[in-house]
Chain A
Amino acid sequence: MTLQKDPEQNEPKYLHRHADLAGKRVLEVGCGDGRLTWRYAGVARHVTGIDLDRDSLRVATIERGSDVEDKVAFAQADSVRLPLAGAAFECAILAWSF
């Protein structure tokens, strides 16, 4: 199946318009396969992506670029029971969490 999502890259464009992520610690809730994560991780200080879907997280980990390998971490979790006690973030993104 040939599916293209947001080839115009409107999503990262509008994200950057509304959020200054440069140098920030970011929590992304509902990161899925990392499609959006990779489009801003380069400017963030560190990104923690969480999702309930294990298969999507596996894809995200496989597609993690070597340039952001050290500053992106993924975990299987939901937003109600975050396994991140003590962690502090300057920005949280609720991504498609409907």
Chain B
Amino acid sequence: MLKPQGTLIDLRPLAGNWPVDVVSGRSSQEAGRVSDLAAGLEDDAAANQTMARAAEQDWFRRESEELFPFHYYWDSPNEMKAYIEEEWEDFVHISDNVWKSARSLWTLGGAESRLRVRVNMLITRWEKVN
């Protein structure tokens, strides 16, 4: 399937209590952080174990690795809340305090304010050994 010396790219978000920001123009203010739930942590651990085993078996060799931010933006707190509850309910939770803080900062920020979640992404390049 993957040719010898072929490249495998593992690209995925890592749990890590992602920051919730309110962005207005070029400035941003952190309203708090999401709380990781067990499913996300377990997924990370399972993926890490799978790739570690592939390296131990000498199936793949790690060539490079890097973290980078992946941003989600919403126009309002309600839109962010609806998305998180529908798409991320198994992975993260946002406390009432963080919601209140995000709403307050968004209201103070004016019409151009947006909500942002900074997802921590991991990209790893593996080379197939044989």
Q: Give the CA-CA distance A98 to B50 in the complex, in Å.
A: 12
A27 touches B1 (CB 8 A): yes
B85 within 8 A of A: no
Within 8 A of B (CB), among A1-28: 1-8, 10-11, 13-15, 17-20, 24, 27
Please pick, from A8, A13, A84, A94, the residue contacting B9 in the complex, using a CB distance under 8 A. Answer: A94
Identify whether the interface residues of B are mostly helix, strand, loop, or mixed.
strand
Set of chain A residues within 8 Å of B10, measured between Cβ atoms: 94
Number of interface residues of B (CB under 8 A): 33
A11 touches B121 (CB 8 A): yes
Q: Give the CA-CA distance A74 to B71 in the complex, in Å.
A: 26
Known: A93-B11, A96-B11, A98-B12. A19 touches B125 (CB 8 A): yes
Within 8 A of A (CB), among B61-111: 63-64, 66, 68-75, 79, 82-83
B58 within 8 A of A: no
Q: Give the CA-CA distance A15 to B1 in the complex, in Å.
A: 21
Interface string of B1-21 (1 = CB under 8 A from A): 111001111111100000000
User: Shortest Cβ distance from B2 into chain A, in angstroms?
Assistant: 5
A93 touches B2 (CB 8 A): no
Set of chain B residues within 8 Å of A87, measured between Cβ atoms: 1
Set of chain B residues within 8 Å of A18, measured between Cβ atoms: 9, 63-64, 66, 123-125
Which residues of chain B have a CB within 8 Å of any CB of chain A?
1-3, 6-13, 40, 43-44, 47, 63-64, 66, 68-75, 79, 82-83, 121, 123-125
